[in-house]
Structure 1
């Protein structure tokens, strides 16, 4: 039987290379979304381009999603198991803490349906709430 991280990659039709396993393990350890820079620091001295390509592959295959939290640095978080190469099902609210600067997925807080006028069709949606997280509240 394959280790869990390797099996997760295989389940998404991703070849389980050493770098992909390292990046996935790092993402699995996170409580919040993580930037490319922070991933690089966690995997130093790994090559930035290889890490970026790995994250792009994860996104394309439905293993990770990108969060634009307004900081200018995209963050990465793992997707739900039902996401795939054709469609992401991560239609949940993201929360950015203005105190600790962490970005969190809130999978139980769904983005409400938005009624668009005729002639408009949505391709993707992102809802970001900014405030103070529960850890920083205390």
Structure 2
């Protein structure tokens, strides 16, 4: 697994340091987007600034995309199509008001090949509501 992560980082022109490998591995096992504090809580002995810089480098290199949620930035690994120049996260980012999770809803998206006379580099497509899991639990009560 470590070699696979190293190769993915190298493919994104990112030096595979120990912290970058650990953060990538951690994020690859998450279903929802996480804030800096949530990532930091999983690295007991790591410096907050190092984790922040790792996430910012990942964002610049097209490894993670950031999701603005109120006054918090959350991070989620990008698909392979993202790079240093373009993030291809034209899907809905959904925040559940009950479980407080932010997830990517890739089945709801803007078409990337829209015909326009201008270039779109980024779309922030965000919604709040109740996720499918919380709706199921609510209906059982």
* TM-score, length of structure 2 as denominator length: 0.86
Q: For residues 62 and 107 of structure 2, what CA distance do their matches in structure 1 show?
A: 19
> 1:79-125: per-residue Cα shift (whole Å, max 9, x none)?
11011011111111100000011100112211368999x9x875532
Aligned length: 135
Residue 87 of structure 1 aligns with which residue? Answer: 86
User: Structure 2, unaligned stretches of length 5 or more?
Assistant: 137-141
Q: Root-mean-square deviation (CA), in Å?
A: 2.2
Q: For residues 132 and 87 of structure 2, what CA distance do their matches in structure 1 show?
A: 27
- Greater shift in the superposed pair: 127-136 or 33-42: 127-136
Contact kept, 8 Å, 2:2 with 2:21, in 1: the verdict is: no
Q: For residues 115 and 87 of structure 1, what CA distance do their matches in structure 2 show?
A: 17
Secondary structure, counterpart of 1:88 in structure 2:
coil
Q: For residues 127 and 81 of structure 1, what CA distance do their matches in structure 2 show?
A: 19
* TM-score, length of structure 1 as denominator length: 0.88
Q: Shift of residue 69 of structure 1?
A: 2.0
Contact kept, 8 Å, 2:87 with 2:121, in 1: the verdict is: no
Q: Shift of residue 136 of structure 1?
A: 1.0
